[in-house]
Amino acid sequence: MHSNELKEIERRMDELAREFAAAHDPAVKRKIEDLSRISAALDVFVDALDRCRTEDMRTPKIVSALDYLESQSATKWPFEQFREALDNTNEEGRWQLLNAPLNGIKEAIKSRTNLRPQRRTLK
């Protein structure tokens, strides 16, 4: 996924990796592992969105990613809508119905992980 969300996760993981290398704090290692799982789950959703027009994406991998991220989020609606959209029989409609809740999932994850894009300073 080439989105800003993944770039922000990768940036945060790099910061944490440097912090872990310096201090070997197990709590930092757990944060890195958590962000890695989140990144992998988001990749699964983006892949599903890319292939949903031509393939049935109601797979165990999708269900597992949905279950994991939903368990980590206070916001439930985007996960429920994503699940429902997988059952849509119209190829274009399915893509549109998956895209909208995917954006909601990204926002829910940003809220949960306190990931926000860094503000750019004007020079």
* Residue 117 falls inside a structural domain: no
Number of domains in the chain: 1
Q: What is the pLDDT of residues 39-54, one digit of tens each?
A: 999 999 999 999 999 9
Residue 45 in tokens: 């959703």
* Residue 120 falls inside a structural domain: no
Kindly state the average pLDDT of the residues 60-88. Answer: 95
SS3 59: coil
Q: Which pTM was predicted? A: 0.81
* Residue 63 falls inside a structural domain: yes
CB 69 within 8 A of CB 79: yes
For the cut 80, the answer to whether the pLDDT of residue 119 exceeds it is no
CA atoms within 13 A on the CB side of 28: 14
* Residue 122 falls inside a structural domain: no
Range of the domain at 66: 4-111
* Residue 72 falls inside a structural domain: yes
